[in-house]
Amino acid sequence: MRIEDPRSAMVDQIFLSILGRNATPTEMSLYRLLGTDAIKDIANTILYEDSSLGYTLKLLNDTSKVKKKKGVTIVSPYNKRCGISTYTENLFRHLKEFEHLGKSEHLGNIEAINIASEVTRNRDDNSDADGVVSCWSCSSDDFNSKILEQVAKFGNKIVHIQHEFGLYKNNDLLRILISDLKRCGFKVMITLHTVHSEPIFDRYYSHADVIIVHSEFAAVRLYAKGINNVTVIKHGTYDPIKVGKIDSIEFVEQFIKLNPDDILGCSVGFITKNKLQEETLKAVKLAQEKVKNLKFLLIGSTGRREYDSDYFPLLESLESDNIKVVNEYISDKEIAMILTASDFAIMNYHPTNHSTSGASHLLMAYGIPSISSTSKILDDLDPGMSIKVDGGRIDDIANAIIQMCSNDEMRFKMGENAKSAGIQTSWKISAENHINVYKSIGEFDAD
């Protein structure tokens, strides 16, 4: 039985004005404990939560009623300075090269391929955005509803999520998103650009209809824990941009002066501690004591992480006339010129989980021999095209550099092997492999 309190009428009035109902006994006791101002906040919070829940239920109900067409919605960053964005842009570009959707022998009767993209844009090259809609933010907790809304607008039966643990700030919400999409009748694929060694992370994505990974090693890790809905599609290799050797050398010489008999090594990509670039430069310095004609260019941009900008001055302090460190975001054509001008590259990473570096496939595209650490992210650079080293051992890296510089025949063979591997993992082949999975999961039979 409710015991009347002289103040209860005021509390009920607050709840009636905000929620259209009286306060419950529990809510009344909170008033006695916290006071009038607090009870207003409590009523407003309940209103917000109820309306949010109501909105979510209505969104799910409306989305489930959407008539699904034979198409694919890719959820990903786009036109952004990150590897996932670059990956998606290459995949999307090559998917669209199979022209005349619905008529192509490759696409069968797939009607549309779209991208529901993250809102951040920080590149100037303005990648083709036809069929791309920016709609969600990786740093916001409402990305589920924003993605659901856009997926419903596209109406494509398959939703393909490009996933990286550093991208989605709340992986529990991602787990719920996959469940909600399936609940609404969509087929869900997820590409894991990183597979953690610890199986505790599997709960975020194991219920997707198909999981794509980039290596057999990553697949085996999932198989070992009973996750069998896995498909391996290698990271795609870029179509090389044709640039002349002379023009390429002229471009590089704005950073470092080259003589005709010099051997040029390079490292391209983001400047960040996890690439062990300090160790790389110290190894180059050590190797230069024996290889007098060795020059080295490390070029890339900082800013992906807060501490990267503090890391650059450390690298810059290792500069000399024969070593240059440049903090600059470079275009695809500029990368092509640097690699074309170089005799070899160094790729160095600290130990990682199962992942793949897009930069490895840049080296394959241009047939560049390399020195690379044994980190899992560089597994695609196998010993046939790369001298493998302990990335933290400066002396080991230096010895590999000396070996690379002193053996022209080895550099040539490694370069040819790299180029061959690149042809076998072209983005065209990757796009065809994706289309086969889309057809299978969506039951998109050719007419």
Quick: pLDDT tens for 400-419.
999 999 999 999 999 999 99
| pLDDT higher than 60, residue 52 | no
Q: What is the pLDDT of residues 279-309, one digit of tens each?
A: 999 999 999 999 999 999 999 887 656 667 7
Which class is domain 245-424? alpha beta
Residue 264: what pLDDT?
Answer: 98
| pLDDT higher than 70, residue 41 | no
Q: Which two tokens stand for residue 207?
A: 């219920």
| Residue ranges matching CATH 3.40.50.2000 in the chain | 69-236+427-442, 245-424
Q: What is the pLDDT of residues 58-67, one digit of tens each?
A: 777 788 888 9
Helix, strand or coil, per DSSP, at residue 211: strand
Closest CA to 402 of 321, 292, 318, 323: 292
| pLDDT higher than 70, residue 265 | yes
Residues in CB range of 19: below 8 A, 6 or more apart = 43, 46, 47, 50
Contact call for residues 151 and 60 (beta carbons, < 8 A)? no
Share of the chain above pLDDT 70, in %: 85
Give the pLDDT mean for 201-209. 93
Q: Edge-to-edge strand order for the sheet containing 156-163? A: 132-136, 112-118, 69-76, 156-163, 187-192, 210-213, 230-232
Closest CA to 93 of 331, 445, 363, 426: 426
**Three-state SS sequence of 320-348:** ECCEEEEECCCCHHHHHHHHHHCCEEEEC
Rounded Cα–Cα distance for residues 148 and 389 (Å): 45
Tokens 């790369």 found at: 386
Share of the chain above pLDDT 90, in %: 61
Contact call for residues 266 and 363 (beta carbons, < 8 A)? no
Domain 69-236+427-442 annotated CATH 2.30.110.10:
no
Residue 1: what pLDDT?
Answer: 43
Of 184 and 29, the one with more pLDDT: 184
Closest CA to 179 of 139, 148, 220: 148
The sign of the dihedral angle between the CA atoms of 321, 326, 330, 332 is: positive
- Predicted confidence band at 33 (pLDDT cuts at 50, 70, 90)? low
Give the pLDDT mean for 308-336. 90
Report CA-CA distances (Å) from 308 to 169, 202, 270: 20, 30, 9
